[in-house]
Every structure is written in C-alpha cells, then in structure tokens.
Amino acid sequence: GAVVSQHPSRVICKSGTSVKIECRSLDFQATTMFWYRQFPKQSLMLMATSNEGSKATYEQGVEKDKFLINHASLTLSTLTVTSAHPEDSSFYICSGEGPVGEQFFGPGTRLTVL
C-alpha cells in the first residue's frame, strides 16, 4: 500500500509555543490530505481536509487560526498548532487519499503540551 510519513513522531513543548507537524506521501501524490486528532481509547476525529493549492476545509468546532494547515505540494501537508495549550495534547494523525477513496495514514504524532 501507499506510504505516508509524519514528522515528528513525538513532541513535547511548553504552553504558548507553536508546533509544526509534517505529513508526506512518499510514493504517491495526494491531492487531498486529512488531519485527525485522537484521544485515548476514542475514535479519530476529523479536524480538516487539506486540498493541494487551496485553503483547508475545517470541521465544525475546529479553530482554523489555531490549527494552521498548509498543503503546498502534492506530497506535503503541514499542521501547525499555534500557541499550544495542555488541552491540545493529543495524538494527531494525517492521511492521504488513495485511488478508491481509501485513506492511507501516517504513523501519527503524539503531542504533549506542558
């Protein structure tokens, strides 16, 4: 299957700092990428849909000024958590869309905000 990488895999930061998470499709071009967050023992919650070359579409309740998404190329999307707070601590997962609409997921980034 297609491979999606995420970097970093784990990050710990102080409250008030910004954190950038990169999502790359390594062996396919992903016109559309998705960003999710997942709390322990819960399902994935879609945050936003990122389309290459255009603005991201955010789900209801997700602050677009806090979670900045950039999809500058067909293989790279970035999520920046601005002015992170402890409640932003979570597992963030990105995915790239495959040919039949399946999503290939990155390994996830565990963010801990102190």
**Interacting residues toward other proteins by CB under 8 A:** 1, 32, 34, 38, 42-44, 46, 49, 91, 93, 95, 97, 100-108, 110
Which residue, 40 or 86, has its beta carbon nearer to other proteins? 40
Which residue, 46 or 82, has its beta carbon nearer to other proteins? 46
What is the enclosing helix (H) or strand (E) of 38?
Answer: strand 32-38
Give me the least distance between CB of 103 and other proteins, in Å please: 7
Which residue, 78 or 95, has its beta carbon nearer to other proteins? 95
Give me the least distance between CB of 49 and other proteins, in Å please: 6
Burial 87-107 (b: 16+ CB within 10 A, else e): ebbbbbbbbbbbeeeebbbbe
Report whether 50 contacts 34 (CB < 8 A). Answer: yes
Q: What is the rounded distance in angstroms from the CA atom of residue 90 to the CA atom of residue 73?
A: 26
Give me the least distance between CB of 107 and other proteins, in Å please: 4
Give me the least distance between CB of 30 and other proteins, in Å please: 12
Report whether 35 contacts 79 (CB < 8 A). Answer: yes
Start-to-end CA distance of the chain, whole Å, equals: 36
Which residue, 51 or 80, has its beta carbon nearer to other proteins? 51
